[in-house]
Structure 1
């Protein structure tokens, strides 16, 4: 084994690491926002909103992420819509994560006792005020452990973007392997990087669950 290859191509690995972090953060932030909006719409009682959002959730949860990437990056070009690889991966990961996060928030919202909704309505609270001041702060405590758990999965799933040419960590690793002929060292290094990214979040989830169940 020749570990000098890691040092020799450290700049390529660093560039891939930064791109992976950017995609992960973008997907987490935009996906959380999308999921929150969708979950609020589904639990608002507006029946005309429920069907389209339910269809969106089922579509993106029920189909493989890889197929979604192919459809947006390659498939849209066949109907005259040309988007670059960054736009395609950002859109797909946002919609994909939003569908899962919406269900996490929905479950959290529905776990709140119905009496709190009724009391707030009796006091004249609007739906947005009810959610922001009463329901969402409680929902976040319940939803945070599964939410962080999904973030961990999402960070690891960003490696799938390499199949459409997105130059993230794994894609850079493939390029280095082709040049150096050292797959084991490169793949082990990439695995360690993902471990370093995800393990602190795993510890945080464990800590949060203990706090919730102890209380």
Structure 2
């Protein structure tokens, strides 16, 4: 039976958007934590750590996100590790995010003037204190635009979860388009929902950047 695109169909799409937001937040959180560790390894004075971090970044930047998701979801069971679809998607997206965020933050850490680090050493600050209190706060300010830009791309990248069967925003739109035979209305709505999710990120980033620059 063909249905007309209306309020119930809109609610179904918004329910899919909920999973898009949750996936994006989880992937950014876990990917950010791992990415920070990789960025620190990439900027360390230990050569093997720098090499391994570089290989890690190149691996996840040099392969498509879809392939990474497929490997996690279909590859892990081959070696005896069975994961639920939701966990596989979060894992794949987090690994993908960590590779890109690591490189963004590596560049930001190296963009902090060397004199800041030398001054911190002169004050007797250890590595952890130097990074936490001197380098990383400045690197955060430098990396903010690129970090938010990647976050927006990550939100849009969750659309690939539809290919693995999760009913997120894009998949919800596909289902409603098949039921209503009104693809223009459906996908225009899906596009507006994506826009509504991503726009606040850009606005908050701009406001935060202005505040940080004012304090600087």
TM-score with structure 1 length normalisation?
A: 0.90
CA distance in 1, matches of 2:24, 2:199: 15
CA distance in 2, matches of 1:10, 1:212: 39
Task: Give the aligned length.
Answer: 214
Aligned to 1:41: 41
CA distance in 1, matches of 2:203, 2:11: 29
Aligned to 1:74: 74
RMSD (CA atoms): 2.2
CA distance in 2, matches of 1:205, 1:183: 33
Q: Counterparts in 2 of 1:136-151, with a 5 A limit?
A: 136-151=136-151
TM superposition shift of 1:211: 7.0
Secondary structure, counterpart of 1:5 in structure 2:
coil
Secondary structure, counterpart of 2:6 in structure 1:
helix
Mark the CA change 1:148 to 1:3 in structure 2 (over 3 Å): closer, same or farther: farther
Gaps of 5+ in 1: none
CA contact (8 A) 1:108 1:139 kept: yes
TM superposition shift of 1:98: 0.8
CA contact (8 A) 1:6 1:185 kept: no
TM superposition shift of 1:81: 2.4
Aligned to 2:135: 135
CA distance in 2, matches of 1:44, 1:112: 14
TM-score with structure 2 length normalisation?
A: 0.90
TM superposition shift of 1:3: 10
CA distance in 1, matches of 2:43, 2:205: 26
Is 1:21 aligned with 2:12?
no
1:27-60 superposed Cα distances (whole Å, 9 cap, x missing partner): 1111221211211122121223222221111000
Aligned to 1:122: 122
Aligned to 1:96: 96
Moved more, 60-69 or 109-118: 109-118
Q: Which consecutive segments of 4 or more residues in structure 1 shift more than 3 A?
A: 203-215
Aligned to 2:63: 63
CA contact (8 A) 2:3 2:179 kept: no
Gaps of 5+ in 2: none
CA distance in 2, matches of 1:210, 1:130: 25
Secondary structure, counterpart of 1:51 in structure 2:
helix
1:51-84 superposed Cα distances (whole Å, 9 cap, x missing partner): 2221111000000001111111122233332211
CA distance in 2, matches of 1:87, 1:131: 32
